Amino acid sequence: SSLGYADTEIGPWHSRRPTVDISRTRTLVLKMVMTAGLALLTTSLIMLATIVVLGMDAPHAGLLWVFSYCATTTVGLGVQAINAAFGSLGQLVSMFVFIAFALPSSGATVPLEAVPGFYRFLGAFEPMRQLAAGVRSILYFDARADAGLGRGWLMIAVGFVVALAFGFAATRYYDRRGLHRMVPQPV
């Protein structure tokens, strides 16, 4: 809404800013930078709430914070890339990729042996499983790489690269084809 492509509605208040002439690629960069900044804030607040306020035992609190920040940022970049490629439909696609398919295939609350084969298959590459294993390794297994932390870092790196490549490929394609956003003209 800051770029003028959507309305801002807060309760009874409604506003629309003038449209900013900006490419889809530049918009994606802006959204990704904002995502990384907000991930910094949210990760810090969650660590503060769980470790300081609730008293969670975290012997490797610094490593847990770095891992959580990198994971949050990577998933956020993935969501922004999907949204850039699919538009409004991207929110639904992201919900399935990062929530509906990820939670049952993560093995974090229900062991993979107790879920249908489809979710066991997804567990091999869905990011939530590797992230849960990384956090489990940091909290309970002295942050050992062979206890899931190494694979967690690997999947964060792969996810980061895939999110950037997919997002920039989609936006550059749209920009080169001249598929600019349609801005309604006032009547």
Question: Residue 144: phi, psi to the nearest 5?
Answer: -80, 135
In this prediction, residue 19 carries a pLDDT of 79
Which one-letter DSSP state was computed for residue 40?
H
Rounded Cα–Cα distance for residues 101 and 86 (Å):
18
7 domain-assigned: no
Q: Which residues contact 61 (CB under 8 A, 6 or more apart)?
A: 47, 51
Single out the residue of 129, 137, 115, 5 nearest to residue 67, CA to CA. 137
- At residue 183, the pLDDT reads 58
Asked whether 59 and 65 are in contact (CB, 8 A), the reply is: no
pLDDT for res 184: 55
Q: Determine the pLDDT at residue 43.
A: 97
| Most distant CA pair in the chain, distance | 64
pTM for this model (two decimals): 0.86
- Residue 40 domain flag: yes
- The H-assigned helical ranges of 87-180 are 89-95, 102-105, 117-122, 127-140, 149-176
Residue 181's pLDDT is 67
pLDDT score recorded for residue 34? 96
Domain presence at residue 187? no
Number of domains in the chain: 1
Quote the CA–CA distance of 63 and 68 in Å, as a whole number.
Answer: 8
Q: Is residue 5 part of a domain?
A: no
- Residue 166 inside a domain? The answer is yes
Spatial separation of the C-alpha atoms in residues 47 and 131, rounded to whole Å:
16
Tokens of 119: 């979710």
Q: What is the pLDDT of residue 1?
A: 80
Calpha distance 141→119 (Å, rounded): 25
Predicted pLDDT of residue 2: 79
- Establish if 182 belongs to a structural domain: no
Q: Which domain holds residue 124?
A: 22-176
Supply the pLDDT for residue 22: 83
Rounded CA-CA distance 136/79 in Å is 24
- Residue 2 placed within a domain: no
Q: What pLDDT is recorded for position 20?
A: 80
Identify the three-state secondary structure at position 62: helix
Interatomic CA distance for residues 31 and 63, integer angstroms? 26
Establish if 16 belongs to a structural domain: no
Residue ranges of the chain with per-residue pLDDT less than 70: 181-187
What pLDDT is attached to residue 110?
A: 87
- 80-127 pLDDT, tens per residue? 999 999 988 999 999 998 898 988 888 888 888 998 999 889 888 888
